[in-house]
DNA sequence: CAACATACGATACGAACCGTAATGTAATGA
DNA sequence: TCATTACATTACGGTTCGTATCGTATGTTG
């Protein structure tokens, strides 16, 4: 569980009866229970309120609606990951896969996809989803990658954010669309491909492509929509 | 537009008044219009029926509900991509990115994420979503990758499906969570990283990791959760 | 201690959908 | 012709939503 800070939007003025923290907690807990037992579609505000021993208006006093409530509940369960730092780049990246996997292990991809779908149309909720669920893992793994670059283990010219996207997106994709999460053996394969590269001889591929491009420029029909920057 | 085959589940018996193809088409068209104008949340069956000039029961005669309707409508708009085959591996993979992008350009990631969220809990709809929206692009790009392997442009030991996942997942991820789709320049970066690899010296990283592992095995405290297969 | 402001439980209301059922009429095939 | 199914129309019961209205409880401020 992360810090209890701001799971609930702050109350309005200072005066008056303060909100019950117990109700805050009970609502979040009830939401998580229902998510686990019945999934996202089972979360009706009536059901949440009933299980929490309170009523619907109490929810609306705290959140703008179902989506915001679920987002807060999910955030309450997620850990803030800390970046691996073993000094061994391969091991660190291996651990990084687990960091990305963390969200999907504790929440269930079905819930996350439904939650995101509801968040996406609203800029504020969408930003909150990204900040809560996507960013922490990226930040942690990002630090790890930075250290690997500092050590000189990764190419200097590397696009760090892109590498981050590759790792994060693969795990997200597999969580959503595959029957099973990425296993250890597959993770190792993935790391190998990312670090070693898929090409047998990359410079040769570039050379070939450029040769075709010149050929195309000199008047013939073959089309090449894709352009190469000069190799450094 | 793909083939009109089986956009609508087949009618029951042979006898009786046949379904109106015009109504089929009008419903699909109305659904797509509403998706474009108001997004997924705007698609109520009442609204679709009204715009199509018919009524709700006519929808239920054809589909099991809103999710199946939208899935059919989306499928109607998607092209079945054909695999690039220019003989230039770099160019083909570049085109492959565009194939994956195709779905997200014609449908809007918000709609797709909401649709998937609704499909996911139902095994049949989920399978249909995968077969309709995910698989065609994968199949097309898969053929392209196979040819690249045949040409010897990719490592022989490569995991073709994993490479497919890397490309597909990156584009999916960016479509969902980034403000903008992957651009040409970024795609080129991505291809470069995938083919060339991110490591400066991959064998050295493996060697280092293995050295640490031996050290750990010989009794000291350092933990290594990750195991290496023998290098071939 | 008094006044005020807000949360709380309980309840109710209108609106929007949903999924289905019941009509009578239209269109096809046997 | 007769059986069968689609069609438009209308209606029903059910669920959930978001909000409103109470009287009561629990704090803070003067």
Cα distance between residue B84 and residue B93, in whole Å:
8
* 8 Å CB contact between B56 and B14: no
Q: Which nucleotide C1' is nearest B49 CA?
A: D8
| Among A116, A159, A174, beta carbon nearest to B189 | A159
Minimum-distance residue to D4 (CA–C1'): B16
Q: Is the residue at B230 inside a domain?
A: no
Give the chain B residue nearest A128 (alpha carbons): B177
B62 and B121 in a common domain: no
Residue B205 contacts A where some CB pair is shorter than 8 Å: yes
Segment B3-29, tens digit of pLDDT: 444 577 776 667 889 999 999 999 999
Confidence band of B209 (pLDDT split at 50, 70, 90)? confident
- Do residues B93 and B191 share a domain? yes
Question: Across the interface, do A158 and B117 touch by the CB < 8 Å criterion?
Answer: no
Q: What residue in B sits closest to A209 (Cα-Cα)?
A: B88
pLDDT-derived band at B214 (thresholds 50, 70, 90) equals confident
C9 C1' to A74 CA distance, Å = 27
Poorest-pLDDT segment among A82-96, A100-114, B216-230 = B216-230
One domain for residues B133 and B44: no
Are A83 and A171 members of one domain?
A: yes
Mean pLDDT over the full length of chain A: 90
> What interhelical angle do A66-77 and A45-52 show, nearest 10?
50
Q: Which residues of B touch A228 (CB under 8 A)?
A: 188
Locate tokens 């090409």: which residue?
A: A199
B212 falls in which pLDDT band (50, 70, 90)? confident
Q: In this complex, do A193 and B162 lie within 8 Å of one another by their Cβ atoms?
A: yes
Q: What is the CATH number of the domain that holds A156?
A: 1.10.357.10
**B15 found inside a domain:** no
In a domain, A184, yes or no: yes
Q: For residue B204, is it within any domain?
A: no
B20-31 burial, b if ≥16 CB within 10 A, otherwise e?
eeebbebbbbbb
Kindly tell me if the per-residue pLDDT of B83 is higher than 90: yes
CA dist., res. B85 & res. B61, Å (int): 43
Q: Looking at the domain assignment, is residue A16 inside a domain?
A: no
**Are A145 and A164 in the same domain?**
yes
Q: Specify which residue's alpha carbon is closest to the C1' of nucleotide D2.
A: B16
Residue that finishes a domain, picked among B47, B76, B105: B76
What pLDDT was estimated at residue B222?
A: 47
DSSP β-bridge partners for residue B199: A154
What pLDDT digit, counting tens, does each position of A19-73 carry? 999 999 999 999 999 999 999 999 999 999 999 999 999 999 999 999 999 999 9
B99 and B62 share one domain? no
When divided into structural domains, chain A yields a total of 3
Q: Is A142 found in the same domain as A159?
A: yes
Q: In this structure, is residue A93 part of a structural domain? A: yes
Task: Mark yes or no for CB contact B120/A134 under 8 Å.
Answer: no
- % chain A with pLDDT above 70: 88
Subunit contact A90:B226, Cβ cutoff 8 A: yes
Whether A193 sits inside 8 A of B39 (CB atoms) is: no
Take residue B181 and report the two structure tokens written for it.
Answer: 């789709």
Region A145-168: what's the mean pLDDT? 94
Within this chain, do residues A189 and A85 fall inside the same structural domain, yes or no? yes
Phi, psi for A113 (deg, rounded to 5) = -65, -40
| Six token digits for residue B61 | 């005669």
- Measured in angstroms, the CA of A84 and the nearest CA of chain B are apart by 12
**Residue A38: closest CA among chain B residues belongs to which residue?**
B121
C-alpha pair distances (Å), B151 with each of A193, A197, B145, B146, B193: 19, 17, 10, 9, 20
- Residue B66 is part of which domain span? 21-76
CB-based burial, A10-42: b 16+ in 10 Å, e otherwise: eeeeeeeeeeeeebbebbbbbbbbbbeeeebee
Note the pLDDT of residue B13: 62
Better pLDDT: A96 or A216: A96
Point out the residue among A109, A190, A196 whose CB comes nearest to the CB of B197.
A196
pLDDT tens digits along B98-150: 999 999 999 999 999 999 999 999 999 999 999 999 999 999 999 999 999 99
What pLDDT sits at residue A6?
58
Angstrom distance (rounded) from CA B171 to CA B184: 12
Domain harbouring A44, CATH code: 1.10.10.60
Confidence of residue A231 (pLDDT cuts 50, 70, 90): very low
pLDDT score recorded for residue A8: 75
Q: Quickly tell me which residue has 């990305």 as its tokens.
A: A100
Residue at A167 is within a domain: yes
Residue of A nearest to B197 (CA): A197
Of the candidate ranges A38-47, A180-189, A210-219, B128-137, the one whose mean pLDDT is the lowest? A210-219
Q: Which of A163, A228, A229 sits opposite B193 (nearest CB)?
A: A163
The C-alpha of A22 sits at a distance from chain B's nearest C-alpha, in angstroms, of 32
Q: Do residues B161 and B87 both lie within one domain?
A: yes
Q: Does residue B90 belong to the interface with chain A, where contact is any CB pair within 8 Å? A: yes
Nucleotides of D under 7 A from a protein CB: 3-11, 15-21, 25-29
Instruction: Supply the pLDDT for residue A11.
Output: 65
Residues A161 and A212 in one domain: no
Confidence of residue A13 (pLDDT cuts 50, 70, 90): low
Task: Find out whether B114 and B66 touch, Cβ atoms under 8 Å.
Answer: no
Nearest nucleotide (C1') to alpha carbon of A55: C9
Nearest-Cα distance to chain B for A64, in Å, is: 17
- CB-nearest partner of A91 from B120, B188, B209: B209
Q: A192 and A83 share a domain?
A: yes
Q: Is A175 within 8 Å of A118 (Cβ atoms)? A: no
Q: Which residue of chain B is at minimal alpha-carbon distance from A226? A: B91
CB pairs under 8 A between A and B: 200
One domain for residues B109 and B145: yes
Number of Cβ within 10 Å of residue A183's Cβ equals: 10
* Contact call for A170 and B166, based on CB within 8 A: yes
- In a domain? residue A12: no
State the nucleotide closest to A17 in CA–C1' terms. Answer: D27
């Amino acid at each position: 569980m992360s810090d209890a800070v701001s799971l609930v939007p702050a109350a309005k003025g200072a005066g008056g009866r303060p909100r019950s923290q117990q109700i805050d907690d009970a609502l979040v807990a009830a939401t998580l229970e229902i998510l686990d037992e019945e999934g996202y579609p089972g979360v009706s505000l009536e059901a949440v309120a009933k299980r929490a021993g309170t009523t619907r208006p109490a929810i609306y006093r705290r959140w703008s609606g179902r989506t915001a409530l679920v987002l807060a509940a999910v955030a309450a369960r997620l850990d803030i990951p800390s970046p691996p730092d073993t000094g061994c780049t391969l091991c660190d990246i291996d651990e990084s896969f687990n960091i990305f996997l963390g969200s999907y292990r504790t929440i269930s991809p079905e819930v996350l996809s439904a939650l995101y779908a509801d968040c996406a149309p609203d800029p504020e909720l969408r930003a909150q989803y990204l900040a809560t669920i996507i960013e922490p893992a990226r930040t942690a793994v990002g630090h790890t990658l930075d250290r690997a670059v500092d050590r000189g283990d990764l190419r200097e010219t590397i696009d760090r954010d892109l590498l981050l996207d590759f790792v994060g997106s693969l795990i997200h994709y597999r969580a959503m669309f595959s029957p099973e999460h990425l296993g250890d053996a597959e993770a190792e394969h993935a790391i190998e491909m990312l670090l070693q590269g898929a090409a047998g001889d990359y410079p040769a591929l570039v050379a070939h492509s450029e040769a075709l491009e010149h050929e195309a420029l000199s008047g013939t029909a073959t089309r090449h929509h894709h352009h190469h920057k000069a190799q450094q």
